[in-house]
Amino acid sequence: MPTKGISFIMFSGTADKFIPLGVLTQSAVNLGIPVSIFATGWAIQAFTKGGKDKVNRMPKEFEDMAPMLMQGLKDIKSPSWYEMIKTAKEIGDVKVYVCSMMAQALKVDTDHGLDPIVDDVVGAAAFLQMSAENDKIFI
């Protein structure tokens, strides 16, 4: 089985974009594909302590459709993006990294303020080196 993985670079912090992150991460490990997630920019807040419950902003252009989407997800009993990443970590190789530079710029306490789902705080070069063989997806 090929060991090449997928690297997701999460930049946008809007709630809609966390749905494909969760679904694609869990689906990848279902297939035995390793996943690396690099949280940077606005997405960092979701990976801070208590941050997963604050992922509720929607992009302006789809604001009118957001309630319908949220209700639809509830109707199909879709787990939250966070639960999907947690499940994915249980069953496969998933690593979550927080961007050290953006964390510093956003004044995030990387020693005590991050969610336990985060594996490490790294620089961009370190993440790209780890992801050298991976497909990279910017969300």
Partner 1 sequence: MAKTLVDSRGTACPGPITDLLRAYRKASNGDVIELLATDPGVKADAKAWCQRTNNEVLSTVEKNGVITVEIKIMGKKG
Question: Is 79 a residue that touches partner 1 (CB under 8 A)?
Answer: yes
Residue whose C-alpha is closest to residue 98's, from 109, 82, 86 = 109
Q: Which is nearer to partner 1, 26 or 131 (CB)?
A: 26
Q: Which is nearer to partner 1, 34 or 79 (CB)?
A: 79
How big, in percent rounded to 5, are the helix, strand and coil portions of the chain? 45, 20, 35
Residue whose C-alpha is closest to residue 69's, from 24, 78, 52, 60 = 78
Please select the residue that binds partner 1; options are 84, 114, 121, 122, rule is CB under 8 A: 84
Question: Is 78 a residue that touches partner 1 (CB under 8 A)?
Answer: yes
Within 13 A of 60's CA, how many CA atoms are on the CB side?
Answer: 0
CB of 34 to partner 1, least distance (A): 13
Length of the chain: 139
CB of 49 to partner 1, least distance (A): 27
| Interface ranges with partner 1 (CB under 8 A) | 1, 23, 26-27, 30-32, 76-79, 84, 87, 91
